[in-house]
Amino acid sequence: MPAQPDRSSLPIAVYILGLSVFALGTSEFMLSGILQPLARDLNVSIPQAGLLVSAFAIGMVVGAPVLAAATLRLPRRTTLIALLAVFGLGQVAGALAPSYGVLFVSRIVSALACAGFWAVGAAVAVSLVPVTARARAMAVMVGGLSIANIAGVPAGALLGQHAGWRAAFWAVAGLAAIGLVGVIALVPRTAVPTGEDRPQLRRELTIYKDKQVWLALTATALNGAAVFALFSYLSPLLTDTAGLAESWVPTVLALFGVGALTGTFIGGRIADAHLFGTLFGGIAASTVVLAVLALTAHSPVAAIALSLMLGVTAFTTAPALNARMFNVANAAPTLAGATTTAAFNIGNTLGPWLGGLAIGAGWGYPSVAWTGAALAAAAVITTALAFRLHRATNQSRLIASSVTPAAQTTATAQPAETAEAVRTAKATGAAGHH
């Protein structure tokens, strides 16, 4: 078994990319903590404000596969600089937005840049380290997203409550500027893959003929929708239904982030040996948590505790959902990660929309938890169909890496290569927001 590389072997450029992802993740999720002041200031309803979450997700859905394909032949460092600059300008536009419509457009533009940065940044991160350190490099990037949930989102909520919601956008713009300076100064130029390593888009598109790819995509989207149906409206549920003061919102969001980080760790440890078991267990647990939350939403203690538990259950499935997509999309080293990102964000679009419909119908904020429970139950059914097809076909396909075509191997990979494949897929588990 090869020796593990020393921690010092990761170049600082990888951590700069992780810092940039922290800014991206904070922007993507911070609206859940500033939904009420934003809605009041722009004179829109809570469901309309919630659609801003969907706007970002729509940009991610479109941007992930399109920009992954469009930037294949472009210099990666230059692409990262351009995308991070566009993202930062999108935050400035959001902070200055005079109307809801302008803010909506700025969210879509920011999301397109965010999706592109993920697609290119992952390839750059793993190109800067040895093969044996690729999973760890990806873990640093994903760690930026996890820390965004634990620290960035609650901080944005706190800032939005005391300095206005626009201040949160200015803060993210500042983080993006720091990341941009770091990328310019510390991320080296990397060569675009050529020869046998060169991605072939036409070949990769053939994965979409596979039923298992579509089942994996559907399960991923439904799981994301279940979480975001609730998460997008968690702030008003905590204040208007559970009776908590708005000052509690950042704390509960931080607890959700802690749960998410815990769940990602748990899922990463058990998904190797029990992929379908992790999927069934995690999604079924989310279904139960959401249903119980719907029944007990008027209790502050229950609302806080179940928010933490939802973070754990929802993110326990993330490594398994990613690994499953990589397994069935072994012919698409470029599009596998982009497809997973798109699937999660389809869910992130669908969830807030359905939750908003439930609120608009007059069913109250607990209805978003019922909506999430129904979506999670549908994800369990979809996973059961995938498991049945998997058993029927007895297929054992896998991809050696989710990030670079150079690491792709055939389905006859040796056990050591198989372990490396799952470790790489596991490291990208939390990127399910991407």
pTM above 0.85, yes or no: no
Please give the DSSP secondary-structure letter assigned to residue 133.
G
- Residue at 3 is within a domain: no
- Residue at 385 is within a domain: yes
- Residue at 289 is within a domain: yes
- Residue at 86 is within a domain: yes
Angle CA(61)–CA(99)–CA(145) in degrees, nearest 5? 35
Give phi and psi for 48, each to the nearest 5: -65, -45
- Residue at 304 is within a domain: yes
Res 7 pLDDT > 50: no
Terminal-residue alpha carbon distance, the chain: 32
pLDDT bucket at 405, cuts 50 / 70 / 90 = very low
53-67, 77-91, 192-206, 234-248: which has the minimum mean pLDDT?
A: 192-206
Tokens of 125: 């991160």
Which has the higher per-residue pLDDT, 89 or 431?
89
CB 283 within 8 A of CB 383: yes
Domain count, the chain: 1
Res 431 pLDDT > 70: no
pLDDT bucket at 316, cuts 50 / 70 / 90 = confident
Residues 6 or more apart in contact with residue 105 via CB below 8 angstroms: 93
pLDDT above 90 covers a percentage of the chain that reads 21
- Residue at 1 is within a domain: no
In CATH, what number is assigned to the domain containing residue 213? 1.20.1250.20
Q: Within a 10 A sphere around the Cβ of 31, how many other Cβ atoms?
A: 28
- Residue at 406 is within a domain: yes
> Is residue 99 exposed (0-12), middle (13-18) or buried (19+ Cβ within 10 Å)?
exposed
pLDDT bucket at 89, cuts 50 / 70 / 90 = very high
Q: Which domain holds residue 56?
A: 11-191+200-433
- Residue at 2 is within a domain: no
